[in-house]
């Protein structure tokens, strides 16, 4: 594994984690240093963003950037980097406090997210108020092409376990299971040796079967503990927290050296790449720079895939930045690339259901999605889909089920948002009608009391009634003005 030289330009998105995007803290023309915060966490469900190199901010623009399951638009800080001789050897350091709540805030301020692909804020997972009994450190890198976690565990085993120890303390968990696939023999040896040296009896190293998708969070919990995470729930609901080995290493770097998350390891591979290798790249570095660092593309290169060959997606070009969720770029050769084919009608063979590791019925979900039956989508467990691509692989009709299910998730989220807005509007209208009814009842009561009190005096009654009517008209006009 080697490091990518600092590129001439960095494009650092504010939205490269699950949750609200960070809010920029720099402006065009500002000079930033490596490790400086350039985007603060928008709320507790967000994380900060840092400059991964020193240079001048040349713009804060909307750009199309990679996310977990596709390309999204995000506000980005564009940095023209300083010459190599003016780049610091290490990023700007952050303080690591002793208090637990302050440590969680430091993790958020350091931009820590899950490095397994989902980019979920680390502080949110580690700061859950629910009881955690078991921490699972996920080293089961199950997609065939990806090897960044494997390389990390080989070269930084002690740091990975140091990060696991910090997580155990934050979670107050009793055990940590480090799960590594059996075919990663060198990583298994390195982590096992580091665990023996560390001497922490809470840490157990387990070799899991080399079966796709063994690295899925729910699948890993069931494989290790024999317990199924209920539909619509999370592992913490059964006392388990899963974290990636890369996240543990990054946490150890923060605690020991004050290093925020400004780089990550990316697997550069495929028959379309001249020199496949694992590269430690600054966040925001163009993918084109990584390709050039690996010798460039072969004449046979046909397609670029971001992520694994099963869960990844095609890139239209190499003009996209590395983000915190970028774990792999595959340059497929013509013999590897699937450029699409004729889609045939579903023949109801059930192969997709048999292959689904989440035990879903993709063909039924597809029918519900075509008819926009949102309640049926929820009942059939659409959100339990891990987008592993197994259904695509076995479908004899060549239906791109995974991409359809991704689109359906977006539509379901939009439907829920509109339903929530409609429910809130209905509530406001009901409260408005209740206020009007109460005001009318109070007005009738006042008039009845006034009539009874002045029943024997016509002159006084008329004067009082006129005054009451004037007051009522004033109150009604005030309400109309307020509305």
Q: What is the structure's pLDDT at 456? A: 54
Rounded Cα distance, 207 and 185, in Å? 9
Q: Is residue 130 part of a domain?
A: no
Q: What is the pLDDT of residues 197-212, one digit of tens each?
A: 998 899 999 999 988 8
Asked if 20 contacts 95 with a C-beta cutoff of 8 angstroms, the reply is no
The reply to whether 410 and 355 lie within a common domain is yes
136 pLDDT exceeds 90? Answer: yes
DSSP 8-state class, residue 261: S
The reply to whether 365 and 395 lie within a common domain is yes
Residue 204, helix vs strand vs coil: strand
Q: Is residue 169 part of a domain?
A: no
94 pLDDT exceeds 90? Answer: no
Q: What is the structure's pLDDT at 454? A: 60
Q: What is the structure's pLDDT at 476? A: 77
pLDDT confidence tier of residue 475, bands split at 50, 70 and 90: confident
Q: Is residue 477 part of a domain?
A: yes
State what percent of residues in the chain have pLDDT above 70.
96
* Number of domains, the chain: 2
Q: How is residue 155 written in tokens?
A: 């070269």
Q: Is residue 459 part of a domain?
A: yes
- Which of 396, 415, 434 finishes a domain? 415
| Interval 162-182 mean pLDDT | 94
Q: What is the pLDDT of residues 337-347, one digit of tens each?
A: 776 678 899 99
Which are the contacts of 18, defined by CB distance < 8 A and separation ≥ 6?
68, 113, 118, 119, 120, 121
Q: What is the structure's pLDDT at 14? A: 95
Asked if 228 contacts 216 with a C-beta cutoff of 8 angstroms, the reply is no
Sign of CA dihedral 156, 158, 164, 169: negative
Q: How is residue 261 written in tokens?
A: 């998350």
478 pLDDT exceeds 80? Answer: no
Q: What is the structure's pLDDT at 461? A: 60
The reply to whether 433 and 469 lie within a common domain is yes
- Which of 368, 398, 415 finishes a domain? 415
Q: Is residue 75 part of a domain?
A: no
Asked if 115 contacts 153 with a C-beta cutoff of 8 angstroms, the reply is no
Q: What is the structure's pLDDT at 458? A: 59
228 pLDDT exceeds 60? Answer: yes
Q: Is residue 302 part of a domain?
A: no
- Which of 359, 383, 415 finishes a domain? 415
Q: What is the structure's pLDDT at 459? A: 60
This prediction's pTM: 0.83
Q: What is the structure's pLDDT at 427? A: 93
- Higher-scoring residue by pLDDT: 460, 389: 389
Which are the contacts of 118, defined by CB distance < 8 A and separation ≥ 6?
18, 68, 325
CA neighbor of 29 nearest in space, from 1, 69, 57, 70: 57
- Torsion, Cα 452 454 459 463, to 10 degrees, reads -90
Q: Considering only 23-27, 242-246, 315-319, 479-483, which range has the smallest mean pLDDT?
A: 479-483
Q: What is the pLDDT of residues 65-83, one digit of tens each?
A: 998 778 899 999 999 999 9
Q: Residue 441 is part of which domain span?
A: 422-482
pLDDT confidence tier of residue 460, bands split at 50, 70 and 90: low
Q: What is the structure's pLDDT at 457? A: 56
Q: What is the structure's pLDDT at 338? A: 72
Q: Is residue 208 part of a domain?
A: no
pLDDT confidence tier of residue 186, bands split at 50, 70 and 90: very high
Q: Is residue 427 part of a domain?
A: yes
Q: What is the pLDDT of residues 332-379, one digit of tens each?
A: 988 877 766 788 999 999 999 999 999 999 999 999 999 999 999 999
Q: Considering only 62-71, 171-180, 375-384, which range has the smallest mean pLDDT?
A: 62-71
pLDDT confidence tier of residue 106, bands split at 50, 70 and 90: very high
pLDDT confidence tier of residue 483, bands split at 50, 70 and 90: low
Q: What is the pLDDT of residues 160-169, one digit of tens each?
A: 999 999 999 9
């Amino acid at each position: 594994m080697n490091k990518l030289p600092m590129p001439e330009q960095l494009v650092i998105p504010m939205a490269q984690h699950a949750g609200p995007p960070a809010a920029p803290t720099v402006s065009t023309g500002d000079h930033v240093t490596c490790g400086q915060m350039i985007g603060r966490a928008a709320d507790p469900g967000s994380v900060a963003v840092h400059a991964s190199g020193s240079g001048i901010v040349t713009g804060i623009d909307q750009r199309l950037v990679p996310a977990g399951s596709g390309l999204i638009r995000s506000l980005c800080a564009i940095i023209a980097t300083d010459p190599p001789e003016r780049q610091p050897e290490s990023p700007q350091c952050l303080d690591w406090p002793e208090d637990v709540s302050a440590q969680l805030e430091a993790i958020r301020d350091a931009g820590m997210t899950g490095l397994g692909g989902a980019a979920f804020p680390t502080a949110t997972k580690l700061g859950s108020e629910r009881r955690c009994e078991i921490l699972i450190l996920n080293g089961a890198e199950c997609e065939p092409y990806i090897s960044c976690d494997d390389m990390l565990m080989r070269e930084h085993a002690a740091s990975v376990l140091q990060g696991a120890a910090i997580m155990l303390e934050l979670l107050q968990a009793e055990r940590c299971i480090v799960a590594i696939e059996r075919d990663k023999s060198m990583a298994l040896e390195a982590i096992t040796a580091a665990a023996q040296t560390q001497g922490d009896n809470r840490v157990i190293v387990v070799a899991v079967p080399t079966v796709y998708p063994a690295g899925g969070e729910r699948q890993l919990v069931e494989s290790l503990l024999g317990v199924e995470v209920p539909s619509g729930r999370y592992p913490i609901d059964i006392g388990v927290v899963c974290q990636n080995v890369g996240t543990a290493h990054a946490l150890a770097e923060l605690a020991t050296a004050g290093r925020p998350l400004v780089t990550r390891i990316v697997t550069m591979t495929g028959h379309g790449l001249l020199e496949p290798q694992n590269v430690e790249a600054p966040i925001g570095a163009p993918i084109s720079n990584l390709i050039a660092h690996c010798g460039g593309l072969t004449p046979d290169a046909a397609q670029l895939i971001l992520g694994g060959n099963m869960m990844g997606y095609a890139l239209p070009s190499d003009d996209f930045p590395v983000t915190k969720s970028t774990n792999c770029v595959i340059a497929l050769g013509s013999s590897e690339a699937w450029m699409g084919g004729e889609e045939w009608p579903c023949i109801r063979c059930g192969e997709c259901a048999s292959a689904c590791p989440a035990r879903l019925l993709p063909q039924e979900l597809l029918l519900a999605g075509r008819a926009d039956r949102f309640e049926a989508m929820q009942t059939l467990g659409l959100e339990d889909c891990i987008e592993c691509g197994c259904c695509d692989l076995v479908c004899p009709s060549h239906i791109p089920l995974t991409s359809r299910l991704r689109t359906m998730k977006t539509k379901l989220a939009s439907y829920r948002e509109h339903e929530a807005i409609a429910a809130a509007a209905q509530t406001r209208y009901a409260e408005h009608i209740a206020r009007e009814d109460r005001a009318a009842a109070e007005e009738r009561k006042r008039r009845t009391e006034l009539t009874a009190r002045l029943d024997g005096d016509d002159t006084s009654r008329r004067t009082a009634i006129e005054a009451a009517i004037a007051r009522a008209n004033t109150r009604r006009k005030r309400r109309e003005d307020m509305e």
